[in-house]
């Protein structure tokens, strides 16, 4: 455990002991609210595991698994992320049901007044009455509106602390803010001035009020993820600061964007709603997003039914993508060019291979095949 991991662990460890004393004395203690930010391989999942383990040790429940824990509620937005931390999805655990295109942008719907809501609320209150700590992983895909709904639902589940954020429970958010934004705007990193929805604004204010923000700096050693030949190639390919500045979406200025950025092709979205949501997310971003220019063969059968393209003709698909009528479906290549060390968000919904290069003009050298998840 390095210093960046020790700080959030120490805060959680101190809070777990305060919770234990409050539990014995049948009193309340001020909740801990903390954000743990870290890139892939920085040890977020490892830290979650040991924070939960320490809380179980304090309450003398060492032999209870994370899935069966009554003291900790582990949540994530998507099923895969929830499975990785041995938790549940947010919507399933908190009974959040809002699946329209404007999900969580509408005012919060209380369970107390909903049809069948009081029964559901009583069941949640009984189920989570002993929960002290709530950990939400992959916070980057949570919208401001969804955070507001989470806050209000937790206040209902723990009504004794309704006046406190998140029902007075200790809450820890973990994830990487540079990863994919939520499909439905607005992301938690969106500046308040760019949010024009009152519900989303409330969620943003809740996020800004969290007092502790910790950033993990320890990265997984490349030797643990690359074989010998790949390691030699990685050592020979060292990106220059100019390369990183070019592709790093957080530091790149709009005036410095090369010409190819404006003409780059998007990936084929699964449907028009997803495409529109992604465009809104990009438009609300504080920093410009680099569009990687390349070409990829995608779902020929689907595009053929829409554009009358022969299913067996890849060339026809590529030529059609260059026409003015191709306003929705775009194609990119099988090898997306990235720079070593540069965090680049791949904004698409299908499998893709990635390669690492020194600069946009150099020939690419494949280090490893990186496959993205089907986010939607």
Q: Per-residue pLDDT averaged across 9-23, rounded?
A: 90
What span, in angstroms and rounded, lies between the C-alpha atoms of 284 and 188?
11
pLDDT at position 281 is 58
Range in 26-40, 66-80, 131-145, 316-330 the model is least confident about: 316-330
Domain 3-215 class in CATH: alpha beta
pLDDT tens, residue by residue, 34-80: 999 888 778 888 899 899 989 988 888 777 777 778 889 999 988 88
pLDDT of res. 78: 84
How many whole angstroms separate alpha carbon 111 and alpha carbon 102? 19
pLDDT of residue 144: 92
pLDDT for 278 beyond 60: no
* Residue listed under structure tokens 């053929």: 304
Q: Is the pLDDT of residue 102 over 60?
A: yes
What Å distances lie between residue 271 and 77, 267, 348, CA to CA? Answer: 21, 12, 12
Angle of helix 314-321 versus helix 300-307 axis, rounded to 10: 60
Q: What is the average pLDDT score of the chain?
A: 69
Q: Is the distance from CB of 112 to CB of 154 less than 8 angstroms?
A: no
Domain boundaries, the chain: 3-215, 224-296+332-357
Q: What pLDDT is attached to residue 282?
A: 57
- Across 26-32, average pLDDT: 89
Q: What is the arithmetic mean of pLDDT over 269-289?
A: 53
CA angle 19, 23, 24 (to 5 degrees): 120
């Amino acid at each position: 455990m390095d210093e960046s991991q020790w700080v959030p662990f120490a805060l959680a460890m101190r809070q777990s002991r305060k919770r234990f004393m409050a539990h014995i004395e049948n009193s309340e203690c001020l909740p801990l609210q903390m954000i743990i930010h870290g890139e892939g391989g920085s040890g977020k999942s490892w830290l979650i595991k040991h924070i939960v383990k320490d809380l179980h040790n304090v309450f003398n429940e060492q032999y209870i698994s994370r899935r069966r824990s009554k003291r900790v509620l582990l949540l994530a937005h998507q099923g895969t992320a929830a499975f990785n931390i041995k938790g549940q999805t947010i919507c399933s655990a908190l009974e959040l049901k809002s699946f329209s295109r404007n999900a969580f942008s509408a005012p919060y719907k209380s369970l107390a007044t909903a049809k069948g809501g009081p029964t559901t609320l009583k069941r949640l209150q009984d189920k989570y009455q002993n929960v002290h700590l709530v950990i939400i992983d992959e916070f980057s895909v949570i919208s401001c509106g969804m955070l507001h709904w989470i806050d209000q639902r937790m206040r209902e589940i723990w009504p004794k602390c309704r006046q406190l954020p998140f029902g007075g429970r200790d809450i820890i958010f973990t994830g990487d803010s540079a990863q994919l934004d939520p499909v439905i705007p607005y992301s938690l990193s969106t500046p308040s001035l760019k949010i024009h929805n009152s519900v989303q604004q409330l969620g943003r204010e809740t996020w800004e009020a969290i007092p502790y923000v910790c950033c993990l700096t320890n990265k997984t050693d490349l030797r643990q993820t690359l074989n010998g030949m790949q390691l030699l190639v990685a050592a020979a390919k060292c990106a220059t600061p100019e390369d990183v500045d070019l592709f790093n979406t957080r530091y790149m200025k709009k005036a410095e964007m090369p010409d190819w950025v404006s003409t780059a092709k998007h990936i084929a979205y699964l449907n028009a709603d997803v495409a529109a949501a992604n465009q809104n997310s990009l438009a609300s971003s504080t920093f410009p997003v680099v569009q990687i220019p390349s070409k990829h063969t995608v779902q020929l059968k689907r595009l053929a039914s829409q554009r009358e393209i022969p299913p067996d003709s890849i060339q026809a698909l590529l030529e059609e993508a260059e026409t003015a009528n191709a306003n929705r479906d775009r194609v990119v290549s099988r090898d997306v060019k990235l720079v070593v060390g540069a965090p680049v968000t791949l904004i698409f919904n299908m499998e893709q291979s990635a390669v690492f290069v020194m600069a946009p003009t150099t020939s690419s050298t494949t280090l490893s095949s990186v496959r993205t998840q089907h986010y939607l």
